């Protein structure tokens, strides 16, 4: 089995990636990720382990296109996840450490949020998210779609 994977076949490719927080060029700058090289091939499972604050979430945020590296190159399936963010919509998923529930929405509406962002219509969203029993489902369907 090979230990290395070339960038061309990598699903995730990081080349000398660094991320600094704070004002660039000042002493207030903090380098959270420093020159990271990483290649992950399609289907490969990878665990990033490290003590708290070592930069794991920062790395995931760059791979997901949520934050831009200060320097270096991040590629997912050959594309830049930050500048090409829209093309990854619905194709990259993250389970965050803390919940990201919107308190003004119901539990089901929170579950529906991802489908809303993918422009899935209300009936299809309900079909795919409803966790309740058949009777509750019928009532909710009537409430969302109106009688009929």
**Is 21 an interacting residue with respect to ligand ATP (CB under 6 A)?**
yes
Are the C-beta atoms of residues 32 and 20 closer than 8 Å to each other? yes
57 touching ligand ATP, by CB under 6 A: yes
Among 17, 39, 58, 81, binds ligand ATP (CB under 6 A): 58
- The stretch near Mg ion (CB under 5 A) out of 53-61, 84-92, 98-106, 133-141 is 53-61
Query: Which conformational region is residue 47 in: left (phi greater than 0), alpha (psi within -120 to 50 degrees), or beta?
Result: beta
Out of 57, 77, 110, 129, the residue judged to bind Mg ion by CB under 5 A: 57
- 52 counts as binding ligand ATP under rule CB under 6 A: yes
User: Residue 38 interacts with ligand ATP (CB under 6 A)?
Assistant: no
Euclidean distance between CA atoms 46 and 28, whole angstroms: 32
- Whether 11 and 44 have beta carbons less than 8 Å apart is answered as yes
């Amino acid at each position: 089995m090979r230990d290395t994977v070339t960038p061309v076949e990598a699903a995730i490719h990081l080349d000398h990636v660094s991320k600094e927080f704070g004002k660039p060029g000042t002493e207030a700058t903090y380098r959270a990720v420093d020159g990271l090289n990483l290649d992950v091939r399609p289907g490969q499972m990878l665990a990033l382990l490290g003590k708290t604050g070592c930069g794991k979430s920062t790395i995931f945020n760059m791979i997901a296109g949520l934050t831009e590296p200060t320097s270096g190159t991040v590629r997912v399936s050959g594309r830049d996840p930050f500048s090409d963010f829209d093309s990854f919509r619905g194709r990259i998923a993250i389970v965050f450490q803390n919940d990201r529930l919107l308190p003004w929405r119901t539990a089901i509406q929170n579950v529906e949020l991802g489908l809303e962002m993918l422009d899935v219509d209300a009936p299809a969203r309900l079909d795919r998210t409803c966790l309740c029993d058949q009777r509750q489902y019928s009532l909710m369907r009537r409430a969302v779609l109106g009688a009929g």
